[in-house]
């Protein structure tokens, strides 16, 4: 495989699957966690390594090291591997997804932004999702019963139990206290604002086509997806939150070896479901409009990434993230007619969000 984002949680789990099933690793792409990268190099012996910063090159224990976005695209193009695992964070993962598809490779996709910003220009027939929610939908979708609705679940993020009046004083440290697990900084903030779930609904729309989609909070994160059928029945995908399961299916197609422990329902005792309330998650107010017009994804993603940068820098409060996203959503009415226009709109939206003084 070509593994983009090897030192993140998805990348680490992908390498565990590679080790368990004897899969070879052609290329590792990583950020700045060079110590972990060197351990991965020692264990998996990749032919090529790509890192983001030239200044880190001398620290990487490998004879074939390249740097920057262009090097990622060249690695995808030159590699004989048929599988690309794209676990890059944010908009940076879009070009690599396009390049992999252009080269006829199969993409195991954790970079949801690839579909959020450019789903209309992405061939989803060669994409296998490895987000647990989309894997759950895919897993349940393996029958011919007519479907009325697809539902994904949310944890509720760091502020699901906070008094609403306290949200205006929430700090970065508060936003990063996820109730169920430890993730990267951006996705944890997206979980707290519910932006991550809106992106996942958009991704589901591009993966599975037109239809009704929704989300609900399930506080224990044991159910990842549900499908309502036209006959009135519903099925749910239960599994421990372990990314090795969707990664294994994405890389091998069929899995008959135990990957995770089965859930003991008698020990769970109970499950709790909650609606996603607009008062707590203001971004949810545009959910229906976004699903009717999924091409607005490029606007939402650019506004979100720019607003999160401001929040991390301490220039706006937590609620300012959603406020700026909603303002950008109302301000921009253009839709991309080409891949090039996606990048043009992205640049304009980021500049607009950074210019806001509210």
Instruction: Taking residues 14-31, report their average pLDDT.
Output: 94
pLDDT at position 354 is 96
Instruction: Taking residues 216-241, report their average pLDDT.
Output: 93
DSSP assignment string, 181-207: ----HHHHHHHHHTHHHHHHHHHHHHH
List phi, psi (to 5°) of 276.
-90, 110
Q: Tokens for 180?
A: 């169920």
Say how far apart CA 151 and CA 10 lie, in whole Å: 23
pLDDT at position 153 is 96
pLDDT at position 179 is 80
pLDDT at position 98 is 96
What is the arrangement of strands in the sheet containing 127-129, beginning at the earlier edge strand? 65-67, 48-51, 27-30, 2-4, 83-86, 106-109, 127-129
Tell me what the pLDDT averaged over the chain comes to: 93
* 178 confidence band (pLDDT: 50, 70, 90): confident
275 exposed, middle or buried (CB, 10 Å; 0-12, 13-18, 19+)? exposed
Task: Say if residues 148 and 229 touch (Cβ distance below 8 Å).
Answer: yes
Instruction: Taking residues 322-339, report their average pLDDT.
Output: 96
Parallel/antiparallel/unpaired status of strands 147-154 and 223-229: antiparallel
256: left (phi over 0), alpha (psi -120 to 50) or beta: alpha
* 97 confidence band (pLDDT: 50, 70, 90): very high
* 61 confidence band (pLDDT: 50, 70, 90): very high
pLDDT per residue as tens digits for the range 282-299: 999 999 999 999 999 999
Say how far apart CA 178 and CA 159 lie, in whole Å: 8
Helix (H) or strand (E) holding 43: helix 34-44
Q: Where in the chain is the domain with CATH 3.40.50.720?
A: 2-129
Instruction: Taking residues 82-102, report their average pLDDT.
Output: 94
Residue 338 has pLDDT above 90, yes or no: yes
SS3 31: coil
| Residue for token pair 């690839």 | 114
Instruction: Taking residues 11-35, report their average pLDDT.
Output: 94
pLDDT at position 251 is 87
Question: What's the CATH code, domain 2-129?
Answer: 3.40.50.720
Strand partners for 290: none
Instruction: Taking residues 162-178, report their average pLDDT.
Output: 94
pLDDT at position 180 is 76
Task: Say if residues 246 and 129 touch (Cβ distance below 8 Å).
Answer: yes
pLDDT at position 230 is 94
Instruction: Taking residues 57-75, report their average pLDDT.
Output: 95
């Amino acid at each position: 495989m070509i593994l983009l984002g090897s030192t993140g949680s998805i990348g680490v789990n992908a390498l565990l699957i590679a080790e368990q099933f004897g899969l070879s690793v052609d290329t590792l792409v990583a950020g700045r966690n060079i110590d972990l990268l060197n351990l991965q190099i020692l264990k998996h012996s990749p032919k090529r390594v790509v890192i983001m910063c030239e200044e880190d090159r001398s620290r990487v224990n490998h004879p074939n090291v390249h740097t920057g976005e262009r090097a990622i695209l060249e690695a995808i193009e030159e590699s004989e591997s048929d599988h690309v695992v794209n676990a890059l964070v944010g908009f940076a993962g879009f070009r690599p997804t396009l390049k992999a598809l252009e080269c006829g490779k199969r993409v195991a996709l954790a970079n949801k932004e690839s579909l959020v910003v450019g789903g209309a220009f992405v061939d989803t027939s060669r994409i296998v999702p490895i987000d647990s929610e989309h894997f759950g939908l895919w897993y349940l979708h393996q029958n011919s019963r007519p479907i009325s609705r697809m539902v994904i679940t949310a944890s509720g993020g760091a502020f699901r139990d906070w008094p609403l009046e306290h949200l205006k004083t929430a700090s970065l440290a508060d936003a990063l206290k996820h109730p169920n697990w430890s993730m990267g900084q951006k996705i944890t903030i997206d979980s707290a604002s519910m932006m991550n779930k809106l992106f996942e609904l958009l991704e589901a729309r591009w993966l599975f086509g037109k239809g009704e989609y929704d989300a609900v909070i399930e506080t224990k994160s044991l159910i990842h997806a549900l499908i309502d059928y036209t006959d009135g029945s519903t099925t749910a995908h239960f599994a421990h939150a372990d990314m090795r399961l969707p990664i294994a299916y994405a890389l091998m197609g069929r899995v008959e070896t135990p990957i995770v422990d089965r859930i003991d329902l008698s020990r769970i005792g109970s499950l709790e479901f909650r609606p996603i309330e607009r008062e707590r998650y203001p971004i949810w107010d545009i959910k229906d409009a976004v699903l009717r017009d999924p091409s607005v994804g490029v606007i939402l993603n650019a506004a979100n990434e720019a607003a999160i940068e401001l929040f991390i820098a301490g220039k706006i409060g937590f609620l300012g993230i959603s406020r700026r996203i909603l303002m950008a959503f109302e301000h921009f009415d253009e839709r991309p007619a080409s891949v090039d226009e996606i990048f043009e709109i992205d640049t304009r939206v980021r500049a607009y969000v950074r210019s806001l003084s509210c």
